[in-house]
Structure 1
Amino acid sequence: MTEAYDLVVIGAGSGGVRAARMASSHGARVAIIEEYRVGGTCVIRGCVPKKLFVYASRFSEVFDIAGSFGWSVDASFDWATLLANKNKEIDRLENAYVSTLEKWDVEIIRDRGVIEGPNAVRLKNADRVLEAKHILVATGGHPFKPAIQGADLAITSNEAFHLETLPDSILIEGGGYIAVEFAGIFAGLGVKTTLAYRGDRILRGFDDDMRVGLEEGMRSRGINFIYNACTERLEQADKGIRAIFSDGQDHRYGAVMYATGRVPNTMGLGLENAGVQLTPRGAVAVDKFSATNVASIHAVGDVTDRVALTPIAIREGAAFVETIFNSNPTAVDHSLIPTAVFSEPELGVLGLTEAQAAMVCDIDVYVARFRPMMNTLSDKPERMVLKLITEKGGGKVLGCHILGPGAGEMIQLVAIPMAMGANKADFDRAVAVHPTAAEELVTFKAPNYTYTNGEKDL
Structure 2
Amino acid sequence: MADFDLFVIGAGSGGVRAARVASSYGARVAIAEEHKVGGTCVIRGCVPKKLLVYGAHFAEDLDDAAMFGWDVPEKRFDWAVLRDNVLSEVGRLEGAYTETLTNHDVTIFKERATLIGSNSVRLASGKTITAEKILIATGARPLMPELPGIEHAISSNETFHLEKLPKRIIIAGGGYIANEFAGIFHQFGSHVTLVNRTDVLLRGYDQQVVDRLIQISIRKGIEFKFHATIEAIEKRNDGSLHVRMTGCDDIHTDQILFAVGRQPNTEGLGCDAAGVDVGEKGEIKVDADNRTNVPSIFAVGDVTNRVQLTPVAIREGQAFADTFFGKKPHQVDYDCIPSAVFSHPPLAGVGMTEGQARNRLGTVKTFTSDFRPMKNVLAGRNERSLYKLVLDGETDRVVGVHMIGPDAPEIMQAAAIAVKARLKKSDFDATVALHPTMSEELVLMR
Q: Please state which band the TM-score falls in when normalised by the shorter chain.
A: over 0.9
- Gapped regions of structure 2 (runs ≥ 5): none
What is the distance in 1 between the residues matched to 2:330 and 2:232?
Answer: 47
The question of whether the paired residues in 1 share the 8 Å contact of 2:235 and 2:242 is answered with: yes
In structure 2, the partner of 1:441 is 442
Distance 2:255 2:70 in 1: 35
Q: Deviations over 1:137-189 (max 9, x none)?
A: 00000000111111111000000111011111100000000000000000000
Q: Deviations for 1:182-209, whole angstroms, at most 9, x for unmatched residues?
A: 0000000001111000111321221111
**Cα contact 1:156–1:259 (8 A) shared by 2:** yes
In the TM superposition, what are the counterparts of 1:273-292 in structure 2 within 5 Å?
273-292=273-292
TM-score (normalised: structure 1): 0.95
Q: 1:248 to 1:368 in 2, by over 3 A?
A: closer
Aligned runs of 1:59-458 on 2, under 5 Å? Answer: 59-73=58-72, 74-124=74-124, 126-237=125-236, 238-361=238-361, 362-392=363-393, 395-445=396-446
The answer (yes or no) to whether the contact 1:171–1:256 under 8 Å persists in 2 is yes
- Partners of 1:92 and 1:239 in 2: CA distance: 34
Question: 1:286-339 deviations in whole A, cap 9, x for unaligned?
Answer: 011111000000000000000000000000000011121123332111121000
Give the structure 2 partner of residue 33 of structure 1: 32
> CA offset at residue 236 of structure 1?
0.5
Give yes or no for contact 1:175–1:197 (8 Å, CA) kept in 2: yes
* Kept after mapping to 2: 8 A contact 1:12/1:38: yes
**Structure 1 pair 393–435 and aligned structure 2 pair: CA distance change class (3 A):** farther
**1:364·1:393 contact (CA, 8 Å) conserved in 2?**
no
Q: Which runs of 4+ in 1 moved over 4 A?
A: none
Report the alpha carbon displacement of residue 220 of structure 1 after superposing the two structures with TM. 1.8
Per-residue CA deviations over 1:386-419 (Å, capped at 9, x if unaligned) read: 0001112662111000100010001111111211
Hey, what's the Cα distance between the residues in 1 that align with 2:230 and 2:98?
41
> How many residue pairs end up in the alignment?
443
For residues 138 and 158 of structure 2, the distance between their equivalents in structure 1, rounded to whole angstroms, comes to 19
Task: Give TM-score scaled by structure 2 length.
Answer: 0.97
CA-based RMSD of the aligned residues comes to: 1.2
- Mapped to 2, the partners of 1:127 and 1:390 lie a distance apart of 58
Which moved further from structure 2: 429-438 or 264-273? 429-438
- 8 Å CA contact 1:201, 1:211 repeated in 2: no
Pick closer, same or farther for the CA change 1:21–1:247 going to 2, 3 Å: same
Distance 1:211 1:274 in 2: 44
Q: What is the Cα deviation at residue 379 of structure 1?
A: 2.8
**In 2, Cα distance between the equivalents of 1:4 and 1:307?**
32
What is the distance in 2 between the residues matched to 1:3 and 1:391?
Answer: 53
For 1:236-271, what per-residue CA distance to the aligned partner results, in whole angstroms no more than 9, with x for missing partners?
023311111112521111100000000000000001
Deviation track 1:41-66 (CA, whole Å, cap 9, x = no partner) reads: 00000000000000111111112222
In 2, distance between residues paired with 1:25 and 1:193? 48
Question: How far apart, CA to CA, are the structure 2 residues paired with 1:289 and 1:240?
Answer: 50
Contact 2:391 2:397 in 1 (8 A): yes
Q: Which amino acid aligns with 1:11?
A: G
Whole-angstrom CA distance in 2 between matches of 1:393 and 1:300: 37
- SS of 1:359 mapped into structure 2: helix
Cα distance, 1:341 vs structure 2: 0.6
Q: 1:106 to 1:10 in 2, by over 3 A?
A: same
Percent of residue pairs identical = 49
SS in 1 for 2:335: coil
Unpaired stretches in structure 1, ≥5 consecutive residues: 446-458
Cα drift, residue 222 of structure 1: 1.1
Which letter maps to 2:398?
Answer: V
* Mapped partners of 1:127, 1:115: distance in 2: 12
Once residues 131 and 309 of structure 1 are traced to their aligned partners in structure 2, the CA distance between those partners, rounded to angstroms, is 30
Partners of 2:2 and 2:132 within 8 A in 1: no
Opposite residue 174 of structure 2, the aligned amino acid is: G
Please tell me the residue identity of whatever aligns with 1:276: V
